[in-house]
Amino acid sequence: MIAVDENGFYGKFGGAYIPEMLYPNIEELRENYLEITTSADFQEEFRSLLKDYVGRPTPLFFAGRLSEKYGAKIYLKREDLCHTGAHKVNNTVGQIILAKKLGKKRIIAETGAGQHGVATATVCALMGMDCTVYMGEVDMARQKPNVERMRILGAKVVPATSGSKTLKDATNEAMRQWINNPVDTHYIIGSVVGPHPYPEMVARFQSVISEEMKLQLLEKEGRENPDLVIACVGGGSNAAGAFYHYYNQPEVRLIAVEAAGLGISSGKSAATTLLGKPGILHGSRTLLMQTEDGQVVEPHSISAGLDYPGIGPVHAHLFDSGRGEFVAVEDEAAMQAGIMLSRLEGIIPAIESAHAFSALDQIKFNKEDVIVINLSGRGDKDLETYIKWGNY
Amino acid sequence: MNRIDKLFKDKKKDILSIYFTAGFPELEDTLPIMRALEKAGADIIELGVPYSDPIADGPTIQDSNTLALQNGMSLNKLFEQLAKMREDISLPVIAMGYLNPVVQYGIEKFCKKCQEVGVDGLIIPDLPMKQYISEYKDVFDAYGLRNTFLISPQTSEDRIREIDKHSDGFIYMVSSASITGAKSGISQEQITYFERIQKMGLSNPRLIGFGISDNETFSTAAKYAHGAIIGSAFINLLKKAKKEGELSGVITSYIKKVKGE
């Protein structure tokens, strides 16, 4: 359980820095989300969809050959086996049920690589709700298959044409559209970012990941707690879910893996905790990559899902408080780790998740340690990037 | 006396506030545009501090922000430009900008600089009331800066009363559920909202903004408040004026047209 205070702060980070035009929307959500999402009615529908539609629980797989290579007991939490190919759908299922209970008729969402957009379009189709996804013009061009997946699912995909035309601009655009449609529309944010209560709410929906991990580890290892949990972090929703139930157990090391892009000092990186300073983006106070003048810097990562200049406030706090260990992995190392996992275990990971595997080369652990790596998504969507990289 | 306070004391209606982005269309246009606005008969200058991610603004103001940043505008540069502003500009000047650049510059340093150059008030749309009261109000007050909050058609009556209590200067009424520059014309629904707020008997004066672009929308809005604010339409005018190469004349004739003179 990761505690947030009544104003939505994790330590120094979080809050709701929003224009007054968004205040009623956010307030409606804040006042209702806990009561609705903890009700028996909601939980029944949520659990049933996670089981029969998403395909949960996802397996906890003992990766024998990988364990042998690194000299530890390494398990993979198979979020890549979720419907739509990544953990993102855990959150969209939760939020769409919430939106329905709030009486909303329309859904809007932002997306970077398109995974959250696809997960949103999917649940909108399932629930028969109108869906518009904002996506940076640049991302639309480089993630064409996901654009078409969303369209096949019946969603409207609108290009964000301002600023750098990527994820942060898509998020700006979705917020603007929420200002323009405050009454009938719910905004499904895809990560543990944005104004309170979003980070906390999304973390709760994703917490099913570590909830299952505990039960599965108990069965396989006779104990609920691993020694390490490793997850990649862009905004940080899969990491928030994988860390959630271990946060207050200091004996469990929480390893957050950021994208170093072409290198920390290359100017082409997305390693927010290393390069960022406290600042305000998308409604929350967090660590943020920015110029000295406080203008937001465009990040770079080979993985579109980690290509975000901020980080969820919960992770900023994890970093600031020293509870988490942060590692940065460069593009090249992540790609190599992706190939390594493909060859050792027969699993092609999403490039986001590949970063988490590369962290094994950077951190120290003991031979008897039980390590869980959150395999947040599958690599199908990244085939083109793998092919372009070509080094396999 | 703070120039904003003085203006609202002396003038009770048809107050015209003009927004433009500092450093747009060109870096050194800031002061010439301010001078032209004063000469043309505007009542308040709302000076936009450009930001990379202006989430309450539509495409017109977004683009002007992007361009101003490309031109090299920054808070340092802006304060440099404004250093001698009060030699020939007597209108109230309000700095409108998003919170992050201000936080990075340093709140206290920012407020002190504002006071030094003669800025009278601030509009920071993503500074929530709660944070303002607990962390910012004392500093703003110490440097004589008025703070303006926004309200929208969705803002509850209780919240408006609360905002009125903590406002000094004026209240910025967002005319519809929208970002800047999104809608044109004023609907009956909006007028119902204007009337509803008018009847609340708030202690602060009100200016209506968003969707105000010409004499018709200005005079309609001004009927229900102390005046109105023009932003996107003025930015569009600046873009056009720059092509014609004659800023001051274009601004003067536009302001006169808006005021129906």
Task: Kindly determine whether residue A294 and residue B177, on different chains, have CB atoms separated by under 8 Å.
Answer: no
Catalytic annotation, residues of B? 46, 57
Q: Look at residue B240 and tell me whether its pLDDT is greater than 90.
A: no
Which among A169, A180, A183 is the nearest to B182, CB-wise?
A180
Domain boundaries, chain B: 15-258
Looking at residue B191, what is its pLDDT? 96
Q: What tokens were used for B68? A: 């101003």
A21/B174 CB distance under 8 A = yes
Active site residue A35: no
Query: Residue B234 pLDDT > 90, yes or no?
Result: yes
Question: pLDDT truncated to tens, each residue of chain A (392 aa)?
Answer: 678 999 999 999 999 999 999 999 999 999 999 999 999 999 999 999 999 999 999 999 999 999 999 999 999 999 999 999 999 999 999 999 999 999 999 999 999 989 999 999 999 999 999 999 999 998 898 888 999 999 999 999 999 998 888 899 999 999 999 999 999 999 999 999 999 999 999 999 999 999 999 999 999 999 999 999 999 999 999 999 999 999 999 999 999 999 999 999 999 999 999 999 999 999 999 999 999 999 999 999 999 899 999 999 999 999 999 999 999 999 999 999 999 999 999 999 999 999 999 999 999 999 999 999 999 999 999 999 999 999 99
Return the pLDDT at A1.
67
Is B133 at the interface with chain A, CB within 8 A?
Answer: no
pLDDT tens digit string along B172-217? 999 998 888 876 789 999 999 999 999 999 999 999 999 999 999 9
Rounded Cα gap, residues A120 and A122, in angstroms? 5
Confidence (pTM) = 0.96
What's the pLDDT at B179?
86
Q: How far apart are CA A278 and CA B49, in angstroms?
A: 20
Q: According to the model, what pLDDT value does residue B51 have?
A: 97
Residue-wise burial string across B30-65, b where 16 or more C-beta atoms lie within 10 A, e elsewhere: bbebbbbbeebebbbbbbbbbbbbbbbbbbbbbbbb
Give me the DSSP letters along A131-153.
Answer: EEEEEEHHHHHHTHHHHHHHHHT
Q: What is the CATH number of domain B15-258?
A: 3.20.20.70
Q: Which residue has the tokens 């750098």?
A: A164
B156 in A contact zone (CB under 8 Å): yes
B102 contacts in chain A (CB < 8 Å) = 294
CB-based contact A18 B150, cutoff 8 Å: no
Q: According to the model, what pLDDT value does residue A329 have? A: 98
Helix (H, G, I), strand (E, B) or coil at B126: coil
Cross-strand pairs, A24: none
Question: Closest Cα to residue B258, out of B47, B94, B33, B37?
Answer: B37
Query: A25: which chain B residues are within 8 Å (Cβ-Cβ)?
Result: 154
In degrees and rounded to multiples of 5, residue A61 shows phi and psi of -105, 130
Helix (H, G, I), strand (E, B) or coil at A369: coil
Residue given tokens 């559209």 in the structure block = A177
Whether the link from the prior residue into A19 is cis, omega within 30° of 0, is no
Q: d(Cα B81, Cα B45) in Å, to the nearest integer? A: 15
Considering only CB atoms, which chain A residues are within 8 Å of B57?
176
- Give the span between the Cα atoms of A252 and B239, in whole angstroms: 58
- Cβ–Cβ under 8 Å, residues A16 and A26: yes
Q: Give the active site residue among A191, A330, A376, A381.
A: A376
Can you name the residues that pair with B46 across neighbouring β-strands? B19, B94
Please state, rounded to an integer, the average pLDDT across all residues of chain B.
95
State yes or no: pLDDT of B243 exceeds 90. Answer: no
Is A88 part of the annotated catalytic residue set? yes
Which two three-digit tokens encode residue A84? 């739509």
> B100: which chain A residues are within 8 Å (Cβ-Cβ)?
279-281, 288, 290, 294, 296
Mark residue A294 as left, alpha or beta (left: phi above 0; alpha: psi -120 to 50; beta: remaining): left
Q: Do A19 and B126 touch (CB under 8 A)?
A: yes
For A201-268, what is the HEC assignment? HHHHHHCHHHHHHHHHHHHHHCCCCCCEEEEECCCCHHHHHHHHHHCCCCCCEEEEEEEEECCCCCCC
At residue B244, the pLDDT reads 72
Which of A162, A291, A292 should one mutate to test binding to chain B, selecting the residue with the greatest count of B CBs within 10 A? A162
- At B10, phi and psi to the nearest 5? -85, -30
Is there a contact between A249 and A243 (Cβ–Cβ < 8 Å)?
no
